[in-house]
A and B are shown apart, each in its own frame.
Chain A
């Protein structure tokens, strides 16, 4: 099967700093890569996605970078806020068919 993994299980940042959450994937043929945010007691929430033919995509305070050479995906959150505290998952959509999720990184924002 395919595997999507995260480098760090927990990331602590100071409020106002930028956060970078990393993800490694194994299938170079995946079509889309997606980041989700999951707050305690809630289901995952779609944040941003990037198609496999792109290198960078920006949203509101978030940027996703895709490095296909090393099969690496990152999520950058600018000016991290306490409300950003959550678990973040990367996922890959393979063959427009199945999603494979990483194990998640817990982001802890310190006031």
Chain B
């Protein structure tokens, strides 16, 4: 069974631009969660989607948004990029909301210049 895939793996953007990241969960998994990982803050939860609905949301500004499609694939969007948005963005999938077993993708490394 293929693992969680994320595209692109690396991205360089400039301040003020917007970016869209994609995540394909493990086949059969319907929950997708997004995390931001930085050296200073560690892993921080962004949001979770299940059955195309946002189920949980972390403490990030409205510039961070996401969506999920009927095939469970998910995208997250960051608008008006700031230097502090530079991070590794990870998505994780699981069968259902609140499942303690979630599996992470390799991440997208976003650099904002």
Contacts and interface: CB of A to CB of B under 8 A. Distances in A.
Interface of A: 1, 31-32, 34, 36, 41-46, 49, 89, 91, 93, 95-104
Given A34-B100, A45-B104, 16 more contacts: A32-B100, A42-B106, A43-B92, A43-B107, A46-B101, A46-B102, A89-B42, A96-B97, A96-B98, A98-B45, A99-B33, A101-B35, A101-B43, A101-B44, A102-B42, A103-B42
**Interface SS of chain A: helix, strand, loop or mixed?**
strand
A99 B55 CA distance: 13
A96 B97 CA distance: 8
Contacts, number: 51
Interface of B: 4, 33, 35, 42-45, 56, 58-59, 90, 92, 97-98, 100-107
B42 A46 contact: no
Given A49-B100, A96-B98, A97-B56, A44 B106 contact: no
Nearest to B41: A103
Contacts of B90: 43-44
A91 B92 CA distance: 14
Nearest to A93: B100
Nearest to A104: B42
A102 B41 CA distance: 9
A43 B4 contact: yes
Contacts of A44: 43, 90, 92, 104
B98 A43 contact: no
Contact of B102 (A41, A42, A99): A99
B41 to A, nearest CB: 8
